[in-house]
Every structure is written in C-alpha cells, then in structure tokens.
C-alpha cells in the first residue's frame, strides 16, 4: 500500500555510509537500507507509515552532531533525516515565542530572534552545527543553564509524528497550561525512541545585555571548586561559570597562546549579563576567587574584552581534536562533590595510563572529563570512560548531564535507574511504539527488536 | 495476603464524608469504602498493593484544596490521604534544594527555606492551605510564574509509589540530567492518575529582595491589557503582573475599603523584586500604564507599602466568597488575546444573566473568570463556565492554566487535545496503571473502570 516517499529516498551506498554515524566514539553503526531526507512533514508520515507496516526500524536523525551514537544506523534500518526541515516558521515578538522546524541550526535561531530583540538561551557547545530537533531529542544544555535552564525549559509545544505515522500536537503556545499529561517533556530527551519531532515551539526571553566576563587562575582545581561554591553561595547565578583543568589549559595552549600565566592549575571563567549591575557581580566573583587563593583575576571592562576572555573556553573542543582520539564524558554531580569528581578523574587517568582533560559547567556540577588517547590505548580509554561514570554515580550524580544516553551509555542507564523506573521506561516505550520500530536499542534495550522480520518492502 | 494498613485506616462514615471532596463546585463525589491516612511511605505501599490485588479504585489526596474535583471520592474507593506525610526532610543550602514529603504546606516550605536565605517561588493562591503534593499533582502556578515559572519548573526528583505498590525514584538531585525519559515531569500534573507521590525534591533559588509594587487604575480593561503588552514588550518580567476587572474590584470593595478611586474599570498591579533596580522597573511600569490611559498610578516607596498595594489582589478569594456560590475558571490565552478574553467573558456573563468577576495573572494570559451566582442560577452558571472554556480555546488558549482537569474539565480535555494526543494519554495510563485503579475517570475517561469488580477485601 504505502511506500517510502519518492524523491526523498536514496539507497546509494556511499550516501548511506556518510549518514550512518553521529559524532560518538566507540559506537557501532550498522548498514541502513535507505535514507529518507524528509522535505515535508508528509515525508516523515509516509516513512513511518511504511516502516510501521513493514516492521522496519527507523533511526531519526538531523545534523548528526550527537555524542552518544543515538543517530547511528542500525542494520536494515531507514535513516530518517530531517535536516532539510530547516525553516523558522514564525517569530512572534509579542508572545515571545518562535515556531521552528527541527532542522534549524541552534545558532541560526538564536541570531534570528536576536535581530528582533529577543533571546533564545540554550547554547550547547555544538550550537553552530547542531539543530533544534537534536537539541530537543537530547534535552541539550550548554553554558548558560545555570542562569537560564536547558533546552527543555524553553520548549512549549511539539508536533510529533508517532510510530504509526499519526501526527500529534503536544503542549501549547501559552505561557502556562496543565491540560493533560506533560507529553511535551516526555518527548524532550527521548532521543527519537518515542516519535519524530517535526515542529518545535520555543519560549524566548527579552534580550539580555552583552555579557562581561572575568577569569581567575588557581594553583589547584580544588581551589577553583571552592571559589565556585563561594560565589554561588553568595546568591549569584552567572550565565556561565566554567572550569578548565591543567590538562585542558595545556591543550588549548598548544593551539593558541592566550597569555595564561605559566604553571596554572585551573581556570575559572564567569560571565555576567546583568547590564549596569554586571561590574558588581564580577567584583563579587573576584572576591570569591581571591578568597579561595586565586593567583590572578582578570576582569573585563567591555563586552569585546569579555569575548576574548571566553575564547579559551570556546577553543576547548578544537584543542582536544589535536589528539588522535577522544571520548567525552558528561557526568553531573551535586556541586559540593565537584572537587571530588575532578580529583577522582585525575586518579582514574593515572590508573589507566591515559590523559583526561576536564572542563565544563562548574556552576551546574556538569563536567566533561575527556579521555585523550591514541588508538593503541582504546581499551584503557573506554575503561577510564566507564570509571568516570561509576564515579559520577558514587558521588550522587548522573551519567549524563546533557549529551544523552544513546547507545554509548545504555548499559549504564540501568545502574542509574531503579527497577521500577526501568520498568516504566519499557512500559512507555511499548505504549507509544508498540512495534518497537523507533530507534530500537537506543536509551533502553528494546524488548522488541523490530529489525525487518516482516520485510515486505514495497517497490 | 495483604490488607489496608492497620492503624491508618478508618471506615467511620462521618470521617469518610468529610474527606470525600475537594473545593470544586459542581463535581459529583461518591461514597468511599475507607480512608487511609498514610503515616509512612510503607502505608502508601500497602494500600496500593491491597487495592491492586483487589482491583479497588484509589483516590490519592492531600489538603483537598483542588478546584477540579480530582480528589473527590469515587463509589467504593479507598481515599489515600497523604496530609500526615508532612515533614521537610532536608534543606540543602549549598545545593539549593529541598526534599519534602507531599503533605508539607506550600507556605511552610517557603518560610522554612526563607529562614536559610533561599526562595521557593511557586505561590498558588492557595499557598497557605495547599500542600506540595497537590501542587505537584496539578503543576500549580501562582502570581510569580511570569518571572520564575510554575511548580514543575522547580521539581527535580520524585519518589512515586506505582499502582502495584512498587516504589520508584525519578529525576535526580543535580542541576542537570538527561539519563532516560523525563518521568518526573510526566508525573507532575498527572493528578494522581499514574502514581502516588511520596517525596519531592525541589530546586530553590537565592533569596530575592522584598518586592516593591505599583498599582495603576484604568477606565477599561482594554486599556489595562494594552499596558500589560507595553510593559512586557519593553523587556520587563515582573514577579507579578495582576489584573482585576470592575466586578472583582467591586467585590473586594464590599469586603474592605481600599481607597480605590470611584468608578474604576480595571486595576493592574505590578511587583518588582529587582532590589536596587526595582524603582527603575516600576517607573517603566508607570510609564507603560500612563501611555495606555491610566487614570492614576501609585508606586510604593518601601516593601511595607508594597504589601498594602498587593492587599486588594490577595483579598479576591475571600471577597468572592461573599456570593452564594462561585465557579472559578482558569483559561490561559496568548497575551495578545487577553483583552478579547476579558471582553468575551463580559459578553458571556450578560448573555447568561450571571455575574462574572475576572482577575488573574495578566502577564501570563492566565485569567480566573469566576461565575458568581445564587443556586437558582446553577444551570446558567455552568453554561457560562463552559462558554468561557470554549472562548479560551477559540482564542488559541488552554482550558486550564494551573488548576488541572480533574473531573470538572474532563469532557473539555478532548476538545483541546487532538486524537493522537488523547490516544497517547490512554496508552500511558494503561502502561503505568494497567488495572486502572489510580484515580480512575479523572483527567481522562478511563477505559478500565476498576470499580471493585474483584472485591476480595481482606479483613
């Protein structure tokens, strides 16, 4: 009866191979049977109708910048890519909302709303290359979460195509609303396992002032962690409060000389977008830093200088690409355990003989210890990566603060959740995707494999 | 095998009658078979194990201050009341979180964290009498949502007892976390239909400055609505921006002379808790108000005077109790349709020959048109109440911004949601409560009635 959408579907093996992975390390990917580059919601509907009728797994994907393998191909699957659904459908200045398709790049949306005097805060590190659909699928975070929240905090409504091809609207355009279950936030962070998001309504804020910033240098990460606690304990909520350890600083230094003092053990960068009150906030930050043995503190006088101060943090991703291979972790711990996390990561690195550079969103307790290794160390690297998750759980934290579970951390989810929560996951997955065709085996082990057993592919 | 928890269970008809309703008008309530006043999580577990084994409906309830009938008894049900689970288990100043039992009164929690220099913002009108469990069950709002968000925005983790008595933890203590589906927010707002919440971990904020306030008087609600749009359009987010129409002002005036100018058509009250910047924010509000034909604007100089200015708004609930009967609606519309909503409500009142007093959270578009009537007008009142919901939907809004669906608005939920969203509700309900024993018939029509068909009640 149905077929994959004509004109949007390719079976060219080279194209399929190019679309078969996201940016995760150590995640297997299979051989897909087809790639659908959806040009419309109808293409998504037809793909899911066909896949549902034929019991073929579907892997939803967009910009494929994910770090957990959630968009990797499964043998025999259809890759359903929505990157061409890239229109900003509406920016409503009065209501302070935007309605976008999932393929819109995060930074594109941020710039478009800024042109209208508004602000879309969620700023994952991938903001220049990742799309809103993926940000929603993983409930992506970023630097500004401490003050403004994560992606999910800005999602008001979704259009979702269910596994069988039915189109559903969740949520609402209004500021508040409690009519029925919060389906919107059930789909946010569900990594393509419950439905395919085809439209997102996000809340916006009034534009913030261009941020000022300050950088503090410390001999030890423990001092820097104490400064984080001291500053937040004084009632401040900076839009960014970022930590870089010595290994991270060294990697960045290899890429560009930022004039950091020699032998620095840790750097803490704080922003303030409080306008006329920004100097006062940064003065408070300087006070906290000096109280906690900062060796030097630089406070910017203007936004351009603040940009320069942030540069070191922004270069981390590029700096770590200088190493043959890397495996980025994403644990989030209670803030009081931040120092214990950083310290424990150093011990793990020493014990497995790998380098781990740690930086991240110190204000949220969400760090990115990144194992840097050459390919001969792959097994040790993976073990070290796992040990970091184990440490995060031991410290009362979570295995993933913002990157998602995907394939990479699936086995670890069962260690974080209790039996009843895992049961609830399976029940919900089964309830909304009874045939188990949507991104099977991601987030949770599927009870239904759905791998094309009843393949009656139409011509 | 199992039995209802000894010592916590009563079958006294007078007690049962007293616990058989919440504060909703026009909501039927049945005759319960027993009331369990849980003293521990174990009591909740035993009650649900017994009810599940015997297929007996369970109505979870707490302070019973709800406005939608969600806590009303069902014939033959067990009322499972958690008001005695009223301990604040922990206030963690460094992590800025609190862990509480569901029976803790909202204002009690707010005061306890304020003592430690922290702030729990959600402030439903019922804050002095409603409990956190009920706030979570309905995802309660309040005045401060515009700036700070609703209950759900502050819930990090839950302990929930599932229908079969298993205990589940959702979410986490950390600031961020994306491990698995967002079960926490699926349970927030689910009105006791998916599980019984026995512990809530909430995020706190640093204490805000004591608010200043300003009151503006207008000849018409349309002018006041324009002032709302003007002030928010200038980039302000006051912690409260409240509208009262002429009927509300008259009702309050009957209770206490607040010295309002005679013949006022609408009042707008704005707060600012921006500390040293508060006078600047309120000056901007005054400017917006005067631009939109305010006849008078009073700006407070100090927090005590600000308290007095807020008094009129706070007296609304009491003022409306002067009428023989009332039916409070709760629609939320896009802000640009606020004037159309208030205007339409006036037409509905005229057409049904009832009085409707409208006030509410103008900044969020969330209004409480309250039908005031004597008992001879009950049918007209109910029709007018329904027409207000119809109008809210026509204006692109929702039938409930913060009170919940319960029994009162169940038939209307099907008008707000599309077929696929309703299907998803049924599927999720069936997945997590397969026997349909948890508050059946609330929020959605249950497919499983579960009304004690297999009653094998143990002694």
Question: Which pLDDT tens digit goes with each residue over B79-122?
Answer: 999 999 999 999 999 999 999 999 999 999 999 999 999 999 99
Distance linking the first and last C-alpha atoms of chain B: 10
Predicted pLDDT at B448: 38
Residues 6+ away with beta carbon under 8 Å from A348: A356, A384, A387, A388, A391
Is the model's pLDDT at B452 over the cut of 80?
Answer: no
Is the model's pLDDT at A165 over the cut of 60?
Answer: yes
For residue B37, the 8-state DSSP code is E
Predicted pLDDT at B445: 85
Is the model's pLDDT at A121 over the cut of 80?
Answer: yes
Nearest to A41 by CA among A138, A178, A157, A162: A162
Predicted pLDDT at A155: 98
Cα(A395)–Cα(B152) distance, integer angstroms: 25
Predicted pLDDT at A450: 35
Q: What is the mean pLDDT of residues B21-39?
A: 96
Is the model's pLDDT at B51 over the cut of 80?
Answer: yes
**Which range among A135-139, A258-262, B278-282, B324-328 shows the weakest confidence by mean pLDDT?**
A258-262
Is the model's pLDDT at A457 over the cut of 50?
Answer: no
Predicted pLDDT at A26: 87
Predicted pLDDT at A452: 35
Predicted pLDDT at A2: 74
Contacts of B167 in chain A (CB under 8 A): 418, 420
Q: What is the mean pLDDT of residues B382-411?
A: 97
Query: Residues 33 to 52 of A: which have CB under 8 A from any B CB?
Result: none
For residue B225, the 8-state DSSP code is H
Integer angstrom CA distances of residue B155 from A278, B71, B172: 29, 21, 10
Predicted confidence (pLDDT) per residue in B296-333, tens digit: 999 998 999 999 899 999 999 999 999 999 999 999 99
Six token digits for residue A363? 């204000």
Query: Residues 194 to 223 of A: which have CB under 8 A from any B CB?
Result: 194, 205-207
Say whether residue B390 is in contact with chain A using an 8 A CB cutoff: no
| Phi, then psi, of A444 in degrees rounded to 5 | -120, 155
Is the model's pLDDT at B454 over the cut of 90?
Answer: no
Say whether residue B230 is in contact with chain A using an 8 A CB cutoff: no
**Which range among A170-179, B216-225, B251-260 shows the weakest confidence by mean pLDDT?**
B251-260
Could you list the beta-strand ranges (E) of B85-209. Answer: 88-92, 97-100, 118-119, 155-161, 167-171, 196-203, 205-206
Predicted pLDDT at A446: 66
Q: Do A178 and B94 touch (CB under 8 A)?
A: no
Q: Do A366 and B405 touch (CB under 8 A)?
A: no
Q: Do A176 and B366 touch (CB under 8 A)?
A: yes
Torsion of Cα atoms, A252 then A255 then A259 then A263, to 10°: 50
Predicted pLDDT at B446: 66
Q: Which domains does chain B have, with CATH numbers?
A: 88-206 (3.30.465.10), 212-314 (3.30.70.2190), 323-405 (3.30.70.2740)
Residues 6+ away with beta carbon under 8 Å from B171: B155, B156, B157, B158, B177, B182, B183, B184, B201
Cα(B64)–Cα(A10) distance, integer angstroms: 58
Cα(A109)–Cα(A405) distance, integer angstroms: 26
Give one word for A68, left, alpha or beta, with left for phi > 0 and alpha for psi -120 to 50. alpha
Is the model's pLDDT at A246 over the cut of 80?
Answer: yes
Cβ contacts below 8 Å, chain A against chain B, sum to: 256
A interface test, pick of B134, B140, B177 with most A CB neighbours within 10 Å: B177
Q: Do B180 and A399 touch (CB under 8 A)?
A: no
Q: Do A364 and B175 touch (CB under 8 A)?
A: yes
Say whether residue A338 is in contact with chain B using an 8 A CB cutoff: no
Contact at 8 Å (CB) between A281 and A272? Answer: yes
Q: Do B178 and A139 touch (CB under 8 A)?
A: yes
| Phi, then psi, of B149 in degrees rounded to 5 | 100, 175
Q: Do A174 and B444 touch (CB under 8 A)?
A: no
Nearest to A127 by CA among A147, A151, A149, A146: A151
Is the model's pLDDT at A152 over the cut of 70?
Answer: yes
Nearest to A364 by CA among A404, A332, A395: A332
Nearest to B451 by CA among B76, B154, B139: B76
Contact at 8 Å (CB) between B345 and B371? Answer: no
Six token digits for residue B180? 């698995």
ipTM of the complex: 0.95
Percent of chain B with pLDDT strictly greater than 70: 97
Contacts of B404 in chain A (CB under 8 A): 178
Predicted pLDDT at B2: 74
Q: What is the mean pLDDT of residues A217-229?
A: 97
Q: Do B174 and A418 touch (CB under 8 A)?
A: no
**Which range among A82-96, A157-171, A434-448 shows the weakest confidence by mean pLDDT?**
A434-448
Q: What is the mean pLDDT of residues A292-316?
A: 94
């Amino acid at each position: 009866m149905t077929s994959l959408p004509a004109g949007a579907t390719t079976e060219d093996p080279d194209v399929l191979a190019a679309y078969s992975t996201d940016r995760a390390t150590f995640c297997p990917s299979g051989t897909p049977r087809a790639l659908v580059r959806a040009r419309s919601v109808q293409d998504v509907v037809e793909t899911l109708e066909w896949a549902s009728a034929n019991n073929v797994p579907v892997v939803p994907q967009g910009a494929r910048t994910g770090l957990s393998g959630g968009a990797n191909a499964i043998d025999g699957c259809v890759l359903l890519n929505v990157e061409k659904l890239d229109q900003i459908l509406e920016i409503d200045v009065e209501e302070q909302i935007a309605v976008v398709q999932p393929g819109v790049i995060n930074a594109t949306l941020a710039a478009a709303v800024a042109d209208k005097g508004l602000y879309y805060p969620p700023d994952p590190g991938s903001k220049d290359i990742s799309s809103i659909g993926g940000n929603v699928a993983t409930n992506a975070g970023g630097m500004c979460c401490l003050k403004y929240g994560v992606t999910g905090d800005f999602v008001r409504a979704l259009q979702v195509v269910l596994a069988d091809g039915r189109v559903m609207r969740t949520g609402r355009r209004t500021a508040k609303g409690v009519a029925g279950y919060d389906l919107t936030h059930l789909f946010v962070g569900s990594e393509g396992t419950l439905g395919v998001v085809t439209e997102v309504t996000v809340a916006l804020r009034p534009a913030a002032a261009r941020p000022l910033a300050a950088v503090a240098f410390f001999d030890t990460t423990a001092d820097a962690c104490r400064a984080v606690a001291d500053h937040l304990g004084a009632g401040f909520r900076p839009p960014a409060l970022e930590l870089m350890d010595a290994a991270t600083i060294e990697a960045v230094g290899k890429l560009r000389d930022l004039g950091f003092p020699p032998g620095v053990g840790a750097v803490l960068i704080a922003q303030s977008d409080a306008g006329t009150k920004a100097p006062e906030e940064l003065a408070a930050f300087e006070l906290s830093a000096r109280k906690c043995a900062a060796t030097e503190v630089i406070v910017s006088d203007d936004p351009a200088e603040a940009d320069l101060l942030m540069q070191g943090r922004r270069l981390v991703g590029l700096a770590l690409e200088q190493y043959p291979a890397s495996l980025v972790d994403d644990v989030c711990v209670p803030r009081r355990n931040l120092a214990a996390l950083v310290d424990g990561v150093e011990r793990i690195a020493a014990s497995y003989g790998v380098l781990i550079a740690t930086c991240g969103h110190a204000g949220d307790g969400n760090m990115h210890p990144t194992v840097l290794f050459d390919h001969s160390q792959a097994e040790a690297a993976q073990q070290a990566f796992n040990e970091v998750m184990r440490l995060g759980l031991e410290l009362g934290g979570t295995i993933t603060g913002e990157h998602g579970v995907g394939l990479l951390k699936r086995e670890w989810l069962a260690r974080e959740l209790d039996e009843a929560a895992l049961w609830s996951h399976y029940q919900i997955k089964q309830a909304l995707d009874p045939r188990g065709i949507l991104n099977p085996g991601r987030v949770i082990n599927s009870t239904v494999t759905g791998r094309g057993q009843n393949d009656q592919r139409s011509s």
